[in-house]
Structure formats: C-alpha cells, structure tokens
Structure 1
Amino acid sequence: MLGTDNRPGPVEPTLTTTVAKEYVHRAALAEVFLTGWTRTGANSFLVSAQWPRSHSFYSSEHGVHDPMLLCESLRQCGLLLTHAAFKVPFGYQLSWSSLRYSANPEAMRIGSAPAEIEMHVQCTEIRYRRSLPVAMTMRIEVVLDAALLAVATITFGQHAPSVYRRLRAGRSDAAGLCANAPTPAAPIPAYVAGRTRREDVVLSPTEDQLRWLLRVDTNHPVLFDHPVDHVPGMLLLESVRQAGHAMHPSGGGMMPTLMDVSFNRYVEFDEPCWIEAEAMSSTGCSRRATRVTALQGGKLAFTAVTQMTDITGYPLG
C-alpha cells in the first residue's frame, strides 16, 4: 500500500497588479500607480501604490522621489475611491478645490526596488445628492517602509455629465479643444525650471523675471495622457514647482516639500494664463517659501504657496 505524500506544495506568490486604468482616468497603463484598496472603516480606506525608481517625467533627481509623483498618486487616490468605494459612475467629472501636502525628504529616498506605498485615507465633510457624493475632503497619510512620507489633504467636487456640460458652457469637447489648442511658446531654460528636458518645461519667459506665460503642450505624453477640456491640475502644480525653482535657479537640489494650493476656476486653452511668483520667508538657505498665483482673463485661477527645500542637506544615504 502506497503512503500519502503530505509534504506541503510550493507556496504560490502573491500576485500584484494595478487598479483598472479607468478608475484613475488614465489611458496608459504605465501611468497607473495604484495597486489596490481596502475599506478600513465606514469612510476610511487603505490604498496601495507602487512608485517606479525612474520615470520619464516624474524624474528622480538627487536620490529622492519626485513630489509630483506624490501629487499624481493623490489625484488617482481621489478618483479610485469615488468610483470604486462611493460608486460614482464613470462620466462624472472631479474638480479639485484645494490640495495641500507636506513631505518628509528623508522618507522619500529611492531604494533598491520600486517603492511600495501605503495611503491611509479618511474621508470627511461628505455631501450627498441623490445618494451620490458631490463633495468631500480626504485626509491622507502616506507611508513608505513604516516611515511617514507625507501628510496631505485634498478637497474636491463631483459633477454629473449634464451639470458639467452646463458648467463648462460649450467648452466640454475635450478632443476638439486639445486638437485646436495654440502652439506652445518657447520655454524658459530647463535648468531654470528645475527640469532636465526642454519639453517638460511649462513656463515661457516674459520681460518680468518673476512672471511667466503658462506653457501648455497638449502633445505631452504624461501631462496630456488623454484629451481634456481644460488645462489639467497636474500641469498647474508643475507650474508652481517650476516657478519655485525659477526663483532660485542656482539651487540644483531644491524640491517642493510643501504645497498649499487653492483652485478658483478652470484654466482654458484659448487665452494666455500668467504665472506670477514672489518670495515669502526662508529658513537659512535650505528652505524657501514662494507664493505663486495664476491669472487668466484678469481673474485669479489659483493661488499657491510652496516651500522649496534643499535636499542636499539631508542624510539621504
């Protein structure tokens, strides 16, 4: 009689994938950074993400991850949870009211493998209409390797398709508006904007060194991953970062460790948008605060404060 082999079989690996790209409004799978989510309370969630060690646009300079990669992950987190957890249908449009983050440069160092990110999300100030949320605030603690990487707060609204069409008043044809956007003006030098590639610069020069024309290239493969009917929020955040760099172009190791942005109106393609900056406070040479504003048609589009930190002074190893 043959005996039974009770030896354990091979351990199956844990399989990881990204969330559906439709949840985070991305066309390219390579631009999806979120890998999953679970509910941890009535209105609290754990969202996982993976950050690459290198990226064509969210460049990893000086051994640390780009804070704009954090901002894109926050954007995707808001979209994922509104669709997957709160059951907001596709076709609804999310619009930011405000975004604030504060990041720890020491925790943002790049390791020997892609960064496995945890985002602990608490949703508050939720307003419902016909059982669907139309506005909420998300407070997010971002953790990497058990260290607190950043604390962020995003506030946004949701618009049903019919409401959005009325709100945009004839400007909701994303494909047409992108295709007919004006040719972008020449950029400021890449090193002044804190970039390495000319095509990633979103500011164009003016006669005033602290005033720039927002440069909108609708062919950019990351900022315009798909057609949209207005200048996307991530491009506006990039303009804040680049204005902060342009204030101190000699600081090659400067990164935006804090941003506090309030969005007032959509930025359109067919009219110049002016980015203005002024220095605020500084802590020695390592931390410099800058106020950045955007004006279009004589109206305030957004206001922002960013703190640029010299990361070369941190023991990043």
Structure 2
Amino acid sequence: MTEAAVLIDPVPAMDSEAAVVHPVGIEMVHRSRPEDAFPQNWVRLGHDRFSVEALLPHDHPFFAPVAEDRHDPLLVAEAMRQAAMLAFHAGYGVPLGHHFLMADLEYVCHPEHLAVGGGPTAIDVEVYCSDLKWRGGLPAQGRVGWAVHRGGRLAATGTGATRFTTPKAYRRIRQDVPTEGISIPRTAPVPASRAGRTRAEDVVLSETGRDGVWGLRVDTRHPTLFQRPNDHVPGMLLLEAARQAACLVAGGGGMVPAEASTRFHRYAEFGSPCWIRAVVLPESAGDTVTLRVTGNQDGKPVFSTLLSGPLVRA
C-alpha cells in the first residue's frame, strides 16, 4: 500500500481577522456523547481548506491504545472523519439534518508519531476539499483529503469520497427500510483477546465453523458505535469488523491496522446475516502483514478493505 495522496505542504493562513478560531458543538460531528467527539475547534485556512484541532483520548474505552502504547489508527480515522463533517457543516453551511455518506476511505498512520501519553494528545487535522459538485447552493458531493500533524510531525494522511443527501432524498434512497433499526446479537462473540480487544462487548464477530469466515455481530446498544438511532450498520462498525477479522487471521497478538483502503459498496442492513471474510496476502513479509477483508450480505458485496500493519507480539 502507498501513502494516501493529499497535499501536505504548508499553506499560509488567511489574514488574522479572517482566520477566526471557532469552537465545535458535538452535533456538528454527529456525536451525542462528548467523550466520542474529538474535534475541539476549527479555523478556515482558505476557500476549501480548514484546520481542525482535535484531542485523541488516552483512555477511551472503545478506541483503546494498541500495541500497548500507540493510539488506535481507527481512532485517528474517526477523528479525520469527524473533521470532514465539521468542515462541510461549519465551512459550507450543509444543514445538520443532512446525511453524510462516505463511499471510500483510505488512511496511512505513522505509529512512531502516535505514542500515547498520560493525557489526551492534541493533533492538527488539515482538511482539503476538492472536486465539489453543488446543488441548490450547497455541496452535494466531493473528495476530502486529510493531513494529521502532532507536534509539527506528520502522523497520518488520508483521502475519502463523500456525498450529502437531504432527509427527504435519503428516505427515497432507503425506500421501505425502517427509519430505526434494532439489533441485539444472539450469537456469542469470538474471544476478545483473539480479536484484538479487551472487552467482550466490543467484539463484533462470531464464529461460523468456517476458516477465515465470521458472522457480523451488531449490537445497537453499543454506546460508541451507535450514537443515535440508525437504519443501517455504520461504516465505523464495518471498519472495526475488518480489523478484528485481520487480528483473528494474523493470530498471536493480532495486528495494528496502520494502513487501510476501504470501499463501501452498499448499506449493511439489520436482520440479515453479513459474512466477514479475511485472507492474508502474499505481500506480507517479516513483521508486517497485509490482508484483504470483505463483507457480503444476501450474496452481494457490502465492503472491501485492504489492511496492512505490524504484527503484535502475544
């Protein structure tokens, strides 16, 4: 895998009067709990460029440190995703009721710059918006690039494609799907330690009796993965499923998903089995493993992810 292609050259900010620092409300990053909202403030650097200050918690119960003392790459990816939502809502005026849909997400983390300290870690997330298409005076879709710095050092980069829909248009897309889905797993989770987790309630996979294949466990009571009622399985839960499947296939102490490239093909629905498959690829060598993880539901692909990162010693 190669580093996500984003601009990382410093660009001067706008004049001091224009570069106003704005606080962030948790509703602007689609969170209902303050502990799950990571952006703290934002400033506009240019017409399509923003700087977001975010805090990575050192003791988050779900996004816990990996490999003993590194911030979870999925925590960094979530901070980037939230920064993008903030940029579009606050910077372009996309109404809060609009739906934020990501078609793909790529990131590359540099674990050497993501050590966990004794308190929250401040990061600067630069957000770059491009290829915007407009409808009714608002952006309807576009691409996003991220560059994450910690203490002046590049800690991560990423790219993604996103689009926005009004509540009315979203309901047309979803047609007869209930507006609120409830799912409580009836299957037992795989052992948490094998899935790269410490708590059973965070495990999103169950055994199927088939090598390299697991069933997706969706629990809408999970406080971090489900911030509010939803009519489909959130993308972050699918990314977590990919990570857990990769850890199960890698064996030992699992692996750290330092790099990921994900394509979301369709919504994962409640009430129908979703099968997660993982396979180690030939590119794996030494202490680094590369895997492909896919999700399928009702015979159709839901997502595909290419993961790469260091193995964790058991």
Give 1:195's aligned residue: 197
The unaligned stretches of length 5 or more in structure 1 are 1-15, 313-317
> For residue 80 of structure 2, what is the amino acid of its counterpart?
L
Structure 1 residue 188: Cα displacement: 0.7
Percent identity of paired positions between Structure 1 and Structure 2:
38
Structure 1 residue 184: Cα displacement: 4.1
Give 2:65's aligned residue: 60
> For residue 293 of structure 2, what is the amino acid of its counterpart?
V
Secondary structure at 2:173 match in 1: helix
Give 1:278's aligned residue: 279
How far does the alpha carbon of each residue in 1:50-95 deviate from its partner, in whole angstroms, 9 at most, with x for none? 1111111001131111111112112211211111111011211011
Which of 100, 107, 114 does residue 94 from structure 1 map onto? 100
Once residues 184 and 27 of structure 1 are traced to their aligned partners in structure 2, the CA distance between those partners, rounded to angstroms, is 27
1:41 aligns with 2:46: yes
Alignment of 1:1-317 (within 5 A): 19-61=24-66, 62-174=68-180, 177-178=181-182, 181-252=183-254, 254-310=255-311
The verdict on how the C-alpha distance between 1:108 and 1:120 changes in structure 2, with shifts beyond 3 A counting, is same
Structure 1 residue 112: Cα displacement: 3.5
> For residue 36 of structure 2, what is the amino acid of its counterpart?
E
Secondary structure at 1:276 match in 2: strand
Secondary structure at 1:63 match in 2: coil
TM-score normalised to the size of structure 1? 0.88
Larger radius of gyration: 1
Secondary structure at 1:109 match in 2: coil
Runs of 4+ in 1 over 6 A off after TM superposition: none
CA contact (8 A) 2:289 2:310 kept: yes
Structure 1 residue 240: Cα displacement: 0.8
The unaligned stretches of length 5 or more in structure 2 are 1-20
- Tell me how large the CA RMSD over aligned residues is: 1.6
Secondary structure at 1:295 match in 2: strand
Once residues 112 and 138 of structure 1 are traced to their aligned partners in structure 2, the CA distance between those partners, rounded to angstroms, is 32
Secondary structure at 1:242 match in 2: helix
Q: How many residues matched?
A: 292
TM-score normalised to the size of structure 2? 0.89
Once residues 265 and 228 of structure 2 are traced to their aligned partners in structure 1, the CA distance between those partners, rounded to angstroms, is 23
